[in-house]
Amino acid sequence: MAELRTREDIPARALEFTILTAARTGEVIGARWPEINLETATWIIPAARMKSRREHRVPLAPKVVELLSGLYREGGNSHVFIGARTGARLGNMAMPDVLEQMGRSDVTVHGFRSTFRDWAAEATAYPNHVVEQALAHTIGNAVEAAYRRGDLFEKRRHLMNDWAQFCGRPTSGSVVR
């Protein structure tokens, strides 16, 4: 993350946003400004862009709000992460390209979701259902799904704030800039 944050391009910011929100690539590159409320620190992903085809509310950690507040906005383009061409969104390969440019062939964009999942399970006491809701995973058990109607938003806000803080910590052997 420290190395990623030294990069100033939009694909790097999109990758950082993806990591900090534990979102899928398609959700991020399709993100539009009307979905984001910086005042309430919330991103509402419409059902049409979700794998589950259900709207998903994402709590945004302060670091994510800061990241979004610093993004360049192109007039007439509602995409959060704009592409190289006027009016376009960021392309599908932009974030993997960032990793390649950084010489990180050992990781993938989607793998950061797995990292988030492992971190939550191994380094926190957050209940499994809170973490699964943060990842927007569907509930496999039909009975359980029928009874779980809430989205655990405030509990997920705490989880995502802790994740953002964890991502900001230097690892052993890393250089703090």
Angle, CA of 125, 127 and 129, to the nearest 5°: 155
Residue with tokens 């109607």, as numbered in its chain: 149
β-pairing, 36-37 with 42-45? antiparallel
Residue with tokens 């944050």, as numbered in its chain: 5
**Cβ atoms within 10 A of the Cβ of 40, count?**
12
Given a contact cutoff of 8 angstroms between Cβ atoms, the answer to whether 61 and 163 are in contact is yes
Q: What's the confidence (pLDDT) of residue 144?
A: 53
For residue 150, is pLDDT > 90? no
Q: What's the confidence (pLDDT) of residue 138?
A: 64
Calpha distance 136→139 (Å, rounded): 9
Instruction: State the average pLDDT over residues 63-67.
Output: 97
Distances (CA, A) of 53 to 49, 138, 144: 7, 10, 18
Instruction: State the average pLDDT over residues 60-81.
Output: 96
List pLDDT tens digits, range 7-32. Answer: 999 999 999 999 999 999 999 999 99
Calpha distance 63→21 (Å, rounded): 10
pTM value is 0.89
List pLDDT tens digits, range 97-119. Answer: 999 999 999 999 999 999 999 99
- 3 state SS for the chain: CHHHHHCCCHHHHHHHHHHHHCCCHHHHHCCEHHHEECCCCEEEECHHHCCCCCCEEEECCHHHHHHHHCCCCCCCCCECCECCCCCCECCCCHHHHHHHHCCCCCCCCCHHHHHHHHHHHHHCCCCHHHHHHHCCCCCCCHHHHHHCCCCCHHHHHHHHHHHHHHHHCCCCCCCCC
Q: Shortest CA distance to 21 belongs to which of 73, 60, 52, 50?
A: 60
For residue 141, is pLDDT > 70? no
